[in-house]
Structure formats: structure tokens, C-alpha cells
Amino acid sequence: MALVPPPSLAAGNSYPVTATYRKTKNLPAVHSFFLLRGMTARKNTSIAVTHSSCIRAVSPLPHKSLRYAVLGAGFAGLSVVWHLLEHSPKEMNVSIDIFDEFGVGGGASGSSGGLLHPYSPKVKLLWRGAECWRESLRLLGIAEEAAAANGCLIKRRGILRPALSLKHLNILKDNAQNSLPSCRIEQIDQDDTRKPVPGLLVPLNLSFFMPEAISINPQLYLQSLFQACETEANRFHGRELRLHRKSINDLLELEGEFDDVIVCLGARATILPQLIGKLPLRTCRGVIAHLQLPQDIREDFLEDSPSILSDAWLAIKGKRDLHLGSTWEWNSNNYSNHVSMEETSKALEELLPKASGVYPGINSWTLAKAYAGLRAMPPLTVNGSLPLLGSIDHIIGDNRKCKFWLFGGLGARGLFYHAWLGKLLAQAVLFSNEDLLPSELTTWKKKNKVERQ
């Protein structure tokens, strides 16, 4: 027998995804998701909806398999893949093909700083900070388990943000009041700030310390998450997961082969022929410098020193290794991770003075390598700069043989948003129901429509 989800699963503004989903997750016939989507999306059959908090049976389950194409193997793409697998009914044949020109982590995700915490630069709690933080930690844990042999992918020693200007001090203090219990913000003075990093300057004798914030190795994380997806796919008969190292240059080339195509191409979604000029995204290239401390110079950082946020950030990777980021080159169309000598010098000219404002010792460090990525920046809304999610059938054209979805615009906070939003999008895809997404993430579509009229 098949089941129907309760009306409470409809998202609106305050969709309690985790709570509701947990209630239904362990029921034996969760494959109703597929029946429901098959009926509503493909066969147009009406469905009886129960008002209980449970799901109720409506009709026999036809044998069906679903084929998903996920474009992009960065934070967005792999999160969607994981959640599609995790939430698919065990008895359903599910096949997922991932397409990525460069393989896992070939885009901005693999080049990111790997800093994760739920706050803005002025330590204001971000939109749905609790959910995003919790789900990111959960997905990191899943990858960490799969990666036992890959080495350490998470560094859990906090992030420190010294107050730099009097102008911002009160704002920072106010914002810090509203911190999450699971990611605290402690206000510490110069002496306490200097315990983990002796050479640090604290101009206003106050730093904001997030002891639970973390810094990860993004490449290792993505490889490990992919490994976790492979293991999850192999757990059940009838599931398939394939990674194709292939460039997709036209969405319609996938039509007919798949039930759903999910576009997770980061900044490059904007140059697909069907999407060009249709997404409210701006590109912004960022360069990061990997610096090392020469052996003959005494180190200031400990193995477990926190990372530092200031006008530039320092992600501490070890006693003699740090990543310094990042530049902001708006409207760039340079997608390459490669950084020329000229671009490297320019980036260092910009970043070193900013970093030395809090850590003068940076001037003794030498360049090991520079790398870059292109961010897809969404517009600013009353809730901050939120990623763009939802069906894009209205753009591709209705009456297509498959459904098209977008998970894009993760901006400068991809690590923070990818897990929870990837889960929401996977659920919307499984149910074939965009209304399961919080409206804040799909309002870009309404504005888009108005602009096109």
C-alpha cells in the first residue's frame, strides 16, 4: 500500500522539515513519496490527503524506478545526492547520475576556505541558522565516518573575530547576544585572545570567540561525502550511482533520459543556454593564498589554534600552514581554479595588509600556492543573501519530458547552506512538490516572472 504525506508537510514560511520528517521517516512504506509524485506529476490522479500527523495508505504501489541527473559535484550537488539516497524508499529502484566536468570538488567548493559557522561577518545569526548549522554538522559527520581512512577533514578549534573598529563594536556586542547554544559566541579580552595565538593584535581589547565553529579541508570533505553516497547507494538492491566526468552544455540534452534534472552548477549555471540572463545571480571570483612559515622562524600558531576572521580571514591548517583569503572580483567570468603570477601578486598586495592588521607576523610567511573559485552571489533580501531553489520548468519551458530544478546561488556561505537546503530540495524533488520549500528560497522566481512580463 502506498502512503500520502500529511498537509503539515507543505512548507509555507515555517516548514518544520526535520521534526515532521523524522515522524514519517521510519514508517515502512515511505515509498509513498514516489507514488505521490508519480500520481501528481505524471498521471494526474487525485490523492486523498489525511489530516492526521501520519501518512495514510491510498493505493497499491506500481513497480517504478526513478532516474535523477544531478549536475555538479560540489557542496550543492553532493548534498542533494546524499539526501536523495537517504530519503528514497528502500524498496524503490533509484538511479542517480552525477555529471561534473572536473569530477568531485572541481568548482568553488573544492577551492573554498572551508570555514563554517552560522554568523554574518558582524556575528549576526544568519537566516535559519540553527537548521543550517545542525544539518551541516550532521553531513560532515556522515562524511567523516565514511572517510575514516582519508585523514582528518575537520578541525574543531573555533574561530576568533577580534573587534577592529569602535563603529562596529556595539553592533558586534548586540549581535553576539543572539548566539546559538550549539555554536556559542564568547567575548574575550586581549590576554585570553593571545593564549591560543600569541602574536595576535586586539586593538579594542575584545574578541568574539566561537569555540564550536570549525574549519574543514573542503576537498577531503567532498571526496568523503561522495564515498558516503556510494556506500549508501550500495546498501540496497536496485540503486545505482554513477559519476560522469562530462561537461553539460545544454540542459535539453538530458531530456527524456531522466525523470528529474537538478542543476547544481554553481556560478556556471548562469551560462547554460537555457538559463543565461534568467537567474538573478552575480559572479564574484575569489583568490586564496596558501602560506607557509619557513622552518627557521619560530611559530606563533599551535596545531589547534583557532582560525581568524578580520578584513581578511586566516584559516589555520597547522603550525606552519595557513590559508589567507579572500579577494572579491565582482562580475568576473574566470571560472578557472588556476591563478596566474600576476593575479597572485595582486591578491597578496590586497590581502597581506588586511591580515597584518591583526597578525603582523604574517609578513614572515611565504607563498606555497594560490588558488581560486567563482562564487554565484544571490541578491540581498530582508533575510540576507539567500540561495535560489526551486523548479525551473517555467524557464526551460513547460510540457517537457522531465522536471528541471535549481539549487544555486550559495554565495560566500556554501558550506553553511548546502546540507539543510540540499535536504529540502531532495524532498521537494522526491515529492515533486516545490511547495515543500520555504517561500524565502523561491521568491526569486516571482520577481523573475514580474520582470519578464
Ligand X SMILES: Cc1cc2nc3c(=O)[nH]c(=O)nc-3n(C[C@H](O)[C@H](O)[C@H](O)COP(=O)(O)OP(=O)(O)OC[C@H]3O[C@@H](n4cnc5c(N)ncnc54)[C@H](O)[C@@H]3O)c2cc1C
Binding part of the chain for ligand X, among 24-32, 42-50, 113-121, 341-349 by CB under 6 A, reads: 113-121
User: Binding residue for ligand X (CB under 6 A) from 6, 38, 72, 438?
Assistant: 72
Question: Whose CA is closest to 297, among 386, 362, 229?
Answer: 362
3-state secondary structure of 10: coil
Q: Enumerate residues 220-279 that contact ligand X by CB under 6 A.
A: 247-249, 264-266, 268
Torsion sign across C-alpha atoms 396, 398, 404, 407: positive
CA nearest 267: which of 414, 397, 380, 369?
A: 414
**Least gap, CB of 442 to ligand X (angstroms):** 17
Scanning 30-38, 65-73, 145-153, 194-202 for contacts with ligand X by CB under 6 A, the matching segment is: 65-73
What is the rounded distance in angstroms from the CA atom of residue 426 to the CA atom of residue 407?
10
Which C-beta is closer to ligand X: that of 106 or that of 390? Answer: 106
- Which residues, 6+ apart, have CB-to-CB distance to 375 below 8 Å? 108, 266, 267, 283, 284, 285, 286, 410, 411, 412
Q: How far is CA 203 from CA 123, 173, 359, in A?
A: 18, 16, 11
Between 193 and 307, CB nearer to ligand X: 307
Per-residue binder mask for ligand X (CB under 6 A), 312-351, x = binder = -------------xx-------------------------
Least separation in angstroms between residue 200's CB and ligand X is 20
Region from 296-304, 412-420, 431-439, 445-453 binding ligand X, contact rule CB under 6 A = 412-420
Number of amino acids touching ligand X (CB under 6 A): 41
100 binds ligand X (CB under 6 A): yes
> What number of CA atoms fall less than 13 Å from residue 170's CA on the CB side?
1
Neighbours of 181 (CB within 10 A): 7
Minimum gap (Å) between residue 325 Cβ and ligand X = 5
Q: Considering the rule CB under 6 A, would residue 129 count as an interface residue with ligand X?
A: no
Provide the grid cell at 222: 567532498
Quick check: 118 binds ligand X (CB under 6 A)?
A: no
194, 202 in Cβ contact below 8 A? Answer: yes
Give the binding site for ligand X (CB under 6 A). 71-77, 99-102, 106-109, 111-116, 247-249, 264-266, 268, 286, 288, 325-326, 373, 375, 410-416
